[in-house]
Structure formats: C-alpha cells, structure tokens
A and B are shown apart, each in its own frame.
Chain A
C-alpha cells in the first residue's frame, strides 16, 4: 500500500492527466473526473487488493471496481495507467481512432482494468451486484466497489438495483455516489431534485455513510476503510460522497458548465499553471 505522500503526488498528476486528456482530443468530461480524483487514487492505491498484470476479467481473489458513470473515463484511465494497468503513453490515444481508450469505458478493445462498458447511465450498480453475487457463490471474500453519479440516480434502474441489493443482502458491495450536485443541464435541484438522499438510501435498506470531504484524500481513504469494515453485516453499504465538480481548476470548480467540455488553449494553459508539476511526469 502506498503512503499518502505518494498518493497525493499521484492525485496531483492525475489532475494534470485529466486536463491534458480532454485538451488533447478537444472532447471528454473534465468536471466529474476532477471531482473524483481522490476517490480513484485512494481506491486503487490504498483500499483495493487488485492486480494490474496480468489483468483477469473474473478478478477472482481480488477486489473489483465498476464505474457506472462512464463519462468520467479520464480519471479512471489516468489512475489505471498510473497503477500499471497499461503504459501511461497510451493516454495519448484517448478518444482517437483505433484506441483502446474509448470516450466511454469499454471492454471491446481489451483495455486492461475495464470489466464492462458504461456510459449509458444507470447500469453499473446492477453489474456490480452481479459480480458481488458471483463472489458470494465462489466463497470469495473480496469486495466489489462501484461509483455512480448523483444525477445518474434519476435512472430508475438504480432504484431497482438498490431494492435488490438490500433484499438479497448483498453485503460485499460498497457503492459510492459522487454527490457533486451537478449534472449536464444544471444543478440536480434545478433538473430533478434528488430530495433527501441519505434518507432515501436508508429507506431502501442500505447502510448509509456520508462523506463531507470527498476531495480530501485521507478522508476518502478513511471512509472507504470504514465502509469496508461495515461490509459482511447483512446490508449493502453506500457512501454518499460530497465532492466539488472540477476540483483543482478554479474556473472549472463548482459548476456544471465543465461537465463535458474541453478547454481551449488559453484555458488549458491557465489550468496547467494551477496544477503542480509532479515527479511522475506528464504522459
């Protein structure tokens, strides 16, 4: 397990990677990606037992991760590359022709680390539940993690999955909701209010944890560890993780406007000037 100093440096590099990824191809989703950097860095660096090489689809004996809100692929690709799943140079191919790094994550081109396609929202939690059931059948004690967007919870399938997981006591599953309060057309409250989110999850039979500091690496890691300790007790566990969309780049922070937009050259330079250079180096 990596030390926090190393992970903080990785997080800083991942932020640079995200901005460069979307700038290079002039498309993609920087806002949600920047907001979830600490989650991904903690998950892969501190929480999950996982093996980059050789990558095994069934992940037996390993913790598994499913990304439901696939549009934040930049953060995932960066973290996978920085954790040795594939060469960081391959990040140069993101969203370009003949790439394994599709706009939204896919297994189709065989990118290591990806276990199912996501992008069309609302499907990842169901897949994670299926994988958790598979582990249970195999007597595999490792856990399954899943990240969803908050706006994504407007998809009915999420609530189907929530009901199922509670009913079937899928207690080897830790879902995290990226609770940044934003979606494409505005804030959640402007588009379709999520209401009292903790109460809703609780009413659906989940063990609910709320993390106020989703952009604080230690806090995220501590919460994920706490969540892991609460697995195996008959209930699925959810972390409602408050994050800031676009965190780390001042003009992208706290707004839905950078959900799915690439910076121009001037904005790119401004962003890169704000993000510290690290010893890991740009791809």
Chain B
C-alpha cells in the first residue's frame, strides 16, 4: 500500500454522495423516510423526494420539531433520515437529540452537511466545529465522517441497515474522490490507505485527502507515513489504531473540527490508556472560523497539507527524545 498509488479520479461534494446514497437506500428499503428543514437541495435530498414523494417530509425551518418527528417515525418502525446543516443538526437541537433520539435509542439518522470550515463564505455562524464532540459524547450514538463522495454514498447505505441512532457528517465543497466506487462500508472499521513505519496519520472527513497529500510530500523527503482513514469516530477502531501505533510510535490526527472534543481527543484518550506516544493535532484550536474560500480557510486555520506534514515532522522530533 504505497501512498503514491492513491490518486483522485475527480471531484464531487460529499453531500452529493449522501443524496445518491439516500436515493438508493430508499429503493432498497421502503421503511426509509426523509425529512428536511428547508434545505432540500443543499442536502441533495431532491432525488429521494422526487422518487418517493410520499416518504418525504418538508418540516420547514423547525429543526427541533424535525428531530422529534423523526423519533416518532422511528418509533412507528420507519428509518428516518433528517437533513440540515451540521450546525442546525447538532447544537441547535442537542437536547432533542439527547432525549428523544439517543436516550430513547431511536433508529434516527441525523445527516449533516456543510460541516466545518469548508462551508466557506457563510462564515462562523454556520461553520460548526464542535459537532463531533457533541455527538460522540452521547451514549450509544454512532458518529461517522466519511472522506469523499464514494464513501459518503456507501456510508449512507450502511447506516440504513444499522439499527440505532447515527450522526453522519459531510460537507459542502467539491472534494477529491479517491476511494473505490461501490465500496462496502463497514461501520467502525478504520481503513488503512498506506503502510509506513515512521508515523501514523489518522484523519477523518475532508482531511483524509489532505493527509494523503501530506504523506506524499513527506515520502519525497524519506518519511514513511501510515495514513489511516477513521471514517467512524464512534465506535472507534481501537485495534487498528493500536496496531499501527505500536509500529510507528508517533501519531498525527487531522480533522476539520475543534481540537477539543474531536477525533484527536478520542485517539489521545485511547493512547493515554494503552500506548502513550507523542501525538500532534491538526485541528482548529479553540477559535471560530470566518468567511473565505474553503482552501484559504484550511490554510489560515492550520488545516492544510503543509500543516499535516509539519505536524508529522514535529512528532518525529518528539519521538527521538
């Protein structure tokens, strides 16, 4: 598994993968229903609505009600997929999710687009960077952040077949596609993208591609990286993480999220208990975002491929000590 074998076959938004996956899930299972809070096309749910109009509910700008209705539909045996921006899917409705979905263990799929800085020009009001933290704190909640169009589509199909509450996080911009078409998505299974001996880079969501680019850059300088795609943040694939880290003994975690509460914290928690090694975090460090273009924002907030590569260099220095 050579990092240079990973190439992009084009670009599409992860939310489009969700839209396609939802359409197919709807065809496979008549229990699948869709709901949106006035963001039909932003979530790419128009395909599902067109094909299954009787199974689609426009809730209007009322996210709390949407979560409650989804919980009720799940009670009646349906598999509801709610769609709105990540900000309005989590922080705005945290208590509704906590009581009506998580505590009640309802089979609701909370599908959240426009997560993170790469939302872009709309700015910090919409760029949620705390959602993974909020969702992973809820007992029983599965948290998934796929990395590209193909994987988001596969994840959407997989969560339809899983019983229980799920938070599925994806994004707005067109993003490189580099995972296989029609892949089988296994919830909770980390995906190794390259083998390496010097450092392991764990990444989730958009930052998986960023980390692949970083690893390619590092390879030219003789640094061998193991890049692992953690598409499922909860439950975390402890075994895969420990296997890799026991070999490299140096870790970088990259995510489009706050450092507090994110994947990095999850992995650091695991390693602190089982295998203490140096860890560097590529994440937003306790600040809000701002308006700008996605790549400009990733650069300004320290989430570019150069930042991942620099984090790897730092962790290698620490490993030597």
Count of interface residues, chain A, beta-carbon cutoff 8 Å: 39
A130 lies within 8 A of B69 (CB): yes
In this assembly, does B2 line the interface, its C-beta being within 8 Å of a C-beta of chain A? no
Hey, which chain B residues are within 8 Å of A135, CB to CB? 76
Distance between Cα atoms of A167 and B64 in the complex (Å)? 17
Distance between Cα atoms of A230 and B77 in the complex (Å)? 26
Distance between Cα atoms of A133 and B34 in the complex (Å)? 12
B residues 57-90 in Cβ contact with A at 8 Å: 57, 59-60, 62, 64-78, 80
A120 lies within 8 A of B75 (CB): no
Hey, which chain A residues are within 8 Å of B64, CB to CB? 122-123, 126, 156-157, 160
Bitwise interface map of A from 144 to 180 toward B, beta carbon under 8 Å scored 1, else 0 = 0000000000001100110110011000000000000
In this assembly, does B54 line the interface, its C-beta being within 8 Å of a C-beta of chain A? yes
Distance between Cα atoms of A115 and B77 in the complex (Å)? 12
B80 lies within 8 A of A118 (CB): no
Bitwise interface map of B from 28 to 62 toward A, beta carbon under 8 Å scored 1, else 0 = 00000100000000000000000000110101101
Q: How many A-B residue pairs have CB under 8 A?
A: 121
Hey, which chain B residues are within 8 Å of A161, CB to CB? 65, 68-69
Cβ-neighbour of B75 out of A115, A122, A138, A168 (below 8 A): A115
Distance between Cα atoms of A277 and B281 in the complex (Å)? 67
A127 lies within 8 A of B33 (CB): no
In this assembly, does A106 line the interface, its C-beta being within 8 Å of a C-beta of chain B? yes
In this assembly, does B104 line the interface, its C-beta being within 8 Å of a C-beta of chain A? yes
Distance between Cα atoms of A115 and B100 in the complex (Å)? 10
In this assembly, does B15 line the interface, its C-beta being within 8 Å of a C-beta of chain A? no
Cβ-neighbour of B72 out of A106, A126, A156 (below 8 A): A126
A106 lies within 8 A of B76 (CB): no
In the complex, how many angstroms separate the beta carbon of B272 from the nearest chain A beta carbon? 30
In the complex, how many angstroms separate the beta carbon of B192 from the nearest chain A beta carbon? 36
In the complex, how many angstroms separate the beta carbon of A152 from the nearest chain B beta carbon? 13
Distance between Cα atoms of A126 and B68 in the complex (Å)? 5
Hey, which chain B residues are within 8 Å of A118, CB to CB? 99
The winner among A116, A127, A156 for most chain B CB atoms within 10 A is A127
Bitwise interface map of A from 92 to 123 toward B, beta carbon under 8 Å scored 1, else 0 = 00000000000000111000000111111011
In this assembly, does B121 line the interface, its C-beta being within 8 Å of a C-beta of chain A? no
Distance between Cα atoms of A165 and B80 in the complex (Å)? 17
Count of interface residues, chain B, beta-carbon cutoff 8 Å: 32
In this assembly, does A2 line the interface, its C-beta being within 8 Å of a C-beta of chain B? no
A127 lies within 8 A of B100 (CB): yes
In the complex, how many angstroms separate the beta carbon of A20 from the nearest chain B beta carbon? 27
Hey, which chain B residues are within 8 Å of A164, CB to CB? 59-60, 62, 65, 69
In this assembly, does B95 line the interface, its C-beta being within 8 Å of a C-beta of chain A? yes
| A116-B72, A126-B67, A130-B73 given; A163·B78 CB < 8 A | no
In this assembly, does A131 line the interface, its C-beta being within 8 Å of a C-beta of chain B? yes
Cβ-neighbour of A133 out of B73, B98, B99, B105 (below 8 A): B73
In this assembly, does A137 line the interface, its C-beta being within 8 Å of a C-beta of chain B? yes
Cβ-neighbour of A117 out of B69, B70, B103 (below 8 A): B103
In this assembly, does A128 line the interface, its C-beta being within 8 Å of a C-beta of chain B? yes
Distance between Cα atoms of A227 and B235 in the complex (Å)? 46
B68 lies within 8 A of A157 (CB): yes
With CB as the reference atom, state the residue of chain B lying closest to A133. B73
Given A126-B65, A134-B75, 10 other A-B contacts at CB below 8 A? A59-B76, A116-B104, A126-B96, A127-B68, A127-B69, A129-B65, A129-B69, A133-B72, A135-B76, A138-B77
